[in-house]
Chains A and B, each alone.
Chain A
């Protein structure tokens, strides 16, 4: 089992729709979770972090965390063509040799078409 798994995609949504990106992780003691966005040919940039169960909203983005199910998701409301990118889920280790280690999922390619 991979440490961090994302829905494989690619995901295509029409402009104005809600895009839903999902991620599961294997390390039960993980406490910190992140979503990064990466445009083609660029480096990853942080868009959301979440540490507690529940929802966290920032503008059009909502991150959801369920530690019991070891599941993290990202919702993008009112999707825009400029949201077209690869979205990377990242999980930070919390125990033993994994402490501080940030592991990324494979990424989901999102395309928002006009």
Chain B
């Protein structure tokens, strides 16, 4: 299994530009999570999906952030317009929700720098 695949691994953009981060979960996993990690705030949950449906998006900072999961094998996190304070590492993670086997597996992360 290739694990959770994220792209791009690194993104440098200018303030005001649109950023789209992509994630392919592990095949068969039915829950997908987007986290953001910074030194100051640690690992913050932005949104998570179960069976492609958003369950909790209370961590999404503001309307500039949006996430979609059109099918079981793909999700996007979009920031429009981007701001310097959005600079962080964004992790996607997935798991299969079976009792006693709900281990979360992380992707390698997308490091975003907004100038």
Contact = CB atoms under 8 A, between A and B. Distances in A.
Interface stretch (A15-23, A68-76, A102-110): A102-110
Interface residues of A, number: 22
Given A100-B97, A101-B56, A106 B42 contact: yes
A100 B50 contact: yes
A104 B35 CA distance: 10
Nearest to A42: B108
A35 to B, nearest CB: 12
A29 interface: no
Contact of B45 (A43, A44, A103, A106): A103
> Counting chain A CB atoms within 10 Å of each CB, which of B43, B91, B103 scores highest?
B43
Contact of B108 (A32, A34, A43): A43
A45 interface: yes
Contacts of B55: 100-101
Contacts of A62: none
B102 interface: yes
A88 B106 contact: no
Given A32-B102, A98-B56, A104-B42, 12 more contacts: A34-B103, A34-B104, A43-B107, A45-B106, A46-B104, A46-B105, A100-B48, A102-B104, A104-B43, A104-B45, A106-B42, A107-B43
Interface of A: 32, 34, 42-46, 49, 51, 88, 90, 92, 97-98, 100-107
A-B pairs, top 5 by smallest CB distance, nearest first, are A43-B106, A106-B42, A104-B43, A44-B106, A46-B103
